[in-house]
Amino acid sequence: MHHFCTYFDRNYLTRGLALHESLLRHCGRFQLWILALDPESEALVRRLKLPSVRLVSLAELEAAVPGLTAAKANRSRLEFYFTCTPALPGHVLAADPSVDRITYLDADLWFFADPSAIFDEIGDAPIAVIEHRFSPANAYLEQGSGRFNVSWVTFRRGPEAAACLARWQAQCLEWCHDRPEEGRNADQKYLDEWPSLYPGLRIISAPGAGIAPWNVATAGLSATADTVTVRGGPLLFFHFHGLTQVGRRVYDPVLAHFSTTVTPALRKHVYEPYVRTLEAIRGLLSKEPGDLETLGHIRGPGRRPAGESDVLGQLRALRRVLTGEYLFISRIGGNAATLAKDLALRLGLN
């Protein structure tokens, strides 16, 4: 039995449910602990009665973690969510003595294959983390964002993991702001010191784990009709960081921000299957009471405007949408944005 935990509010609801769907498809026996960060998400997860899910309300977490409620007063909503990151796996271990190992997952991950290969690599390690593995064009981001990405963090019950979780939680309660400052940044850059503090820590090396916009250009991803591989092994999970819907069947995957583009393999075998899943889930949620169809994003990078030549290519690609395909574009600015919006309106893509 693999135990995972994640959190989301109404803006990341469809992504969290997509993560659950991918675990059902690929993971075998597991339990996903879901921290619902607002009443709408909590009510919906309760109604859905999802298999292999255990719900944690925000009130439950705040009652279990002294100082968590007070942290709301000096940080933004997003920063408060980051503050909850170390609190959630610690709460799971405290709430259920039968859980021997808990893995925190970002809600915008999606599994393409069985993650057991990652757990085989982790073995008995008390703590396991994954590096950003920035491509050379994005190496400068490590200074601000840190060496490790919080999207996957594993803790095995025991003194070393308990000490790590306690320290991380205390650090985030004290300071957890969405900006680089004095060697720290949100909940993430604290991890930089872990290799020197915790000798049992394992750094996950599986090539197919943690593929994301900041490393996909050099990850070695390729695809056939029914298989997506990374350097000859399976793509295990992809981190759909910052993916934003900008129109009907039109999405911005923020790849331009990380100096890369949507290749045919990436579009057809990675982004399109994920977007179809999000839209199928949204269709199901539209039958639920309340406005739960928002597909906003709460954790995205700044935007790097595209040049005019990039815009022309994007406008030509709009015709693909008329044949039922999805379009993945970069955010654009200035007069080009006005032109693109006008064309989208004429084609009924707004």
* Chain segment 217-271, per-residue pLDDT in tens: 999 999 887 789 999 899 999 999 999 988 777 888 999 899 998 888 899 999 9
pLDDT at residue 333, as a whole number: 46
Q: Are 137 and 79 in contact (CB under 8 A)?
A: no
Return d(Cα 108, Cα 8) in angstroms, integer: 9
Residues 194 and 248 in one domain: no
pLDDT at residue 298, as a whole number: 26
Residues of the chain with pLDDT under 50: 289-312, 314-323, 332-335
Q: Amino acid identity, residue 239?
A: H
The Cα-based distances of 93 to 122, 134, 144, 168, 246 in angstroms read 18, 32, 31, 15, 39
Q: Report angle CA 236, 242, 247 to the nearest 5 degrees.
A: 115
Return the CA Rg of the chain: 20
Q: Amino acid identity, residue 17?
A: L
| Residues spanned by the domain of 175 | 2-203
Residues 46 and 171 in one domain: yes
pLDDT in tens, 280-300: 888 888 765 444 333 333 233
Residue 261 per-residue DSSP state: -
132 within a domain of the structure (yes/no): yes
Residues 152 and 35 in one domain: yes
221 within a domain of the structure (yes/no): no
Q: Are 31 and 4 in contact (CB under 8 A)?
A: yes
pLDDT at residue 282, as a whole number: 86
Into how many domains does the chain fold?
Answer: 2
Q: What is the CATH number of the domain that holds 115?
A: 3.90.550.10
Residues 113 and 250 in one domain: no
First to last CA, the chain: 44
